[in-house]
Amino acid sequence: MLAHVIAPVTTRADRVLDNPFPQTLRWTAMIKPFLLSLACSLGLFVGHARAGVEAEGKAGTLKTVQGDVRLIDMRGERRVQPGDAVTVSDTVVTGSNGSASVVLRDGTALVVGPKSRVELKNFAFDEASQQGNLLVSLVQGSLRMITGLISKTNPGAAAVTTKTATIGVRGTDFIVQADDQVQ
């Protein structure tokens, strides 16, 4: 019968270690901080990636809201407040006493006048390259647009449509008005 007996390992200070493999202790002591920092880094990366996804979905923010202003999105129609997010395919609707301003992620400002209906048809913007495109539809009412980085880096990448026309944006500040009646 063969039996292995593992004797306690004694250090120079004559301390008895419970672990017969002291190298394992050193390895574990070195790897735990590494694993902890790796886990933290991955957690931050996942959080950053999640924030990036949220930023991609959010095209802009309502900065000012006065009077009767509503937003029509996938969830339906609702009243809005300054700070509410605006995403692609959202429609801003103002009543006879309403007005609102929306600032998009590229710095473009949309000022929506009373009795207006403005839909953000398309918005894509890469902050790193400052490239993207923008398409806004003015269904009725008035819209003032002050262009941001998209128009500055690529003058043909922004446009405003109405029921009867499409306007290629090459300037930096303009007003568009669309009447309810088409002649």
| The pLDDT value given to residue 67 | 97
Look at residue 9 in the predicted model and tell me its pLDDT: 47
Pairing of strands 69-73, 58-66: unpaired
- Structure confidence at residue 79 as a pLDDT band (50, 70, 90): very high
Q: Considering the chain, what percentage of its residues have pLDDT values greater than 90?
A: 52
Averaged pLDDT for residues 54-80:
90
pLDDT of residue 179: 73
Res 14: pLDDT: 45
Indicate the pLDDT class of residue 20, thresholds 50, 70 and 90. very low
Q: What rounded mean pLDDT belongs to the chain?
A: 77
| The token pair that represents 55 in the structure block | 């930023």
Q: What confidence tens digit (pLDDT) does each residue in 154-167 have?
A: 888 999 998 886 66
DSSP H or E stretch at residue 146: strand 131-146
More confident residue, 139 or 173: 139
Whether 176 has a pLDDT exceeding 70, the answer reads yes
Tell me the average pLDDT across 70-91: 96
Q: According to the model, what pLDDT value does residue 111 have?
A: 96
Tell me the pairing of strands 85-87 and 58-66: antiparallel
What DSSP string runs through 22-79? HHHHHHHHHHHHHHHHHHHHHHHHHHHHHHHHHHHHEEEEEEEEESSEEEEETTEEEE
Residue range 26-37, pLDDT digits in tens: 444 555 555 555
pLDDT digits (tens, 9 = 90+) for 108-121: 999 999 999 999 99
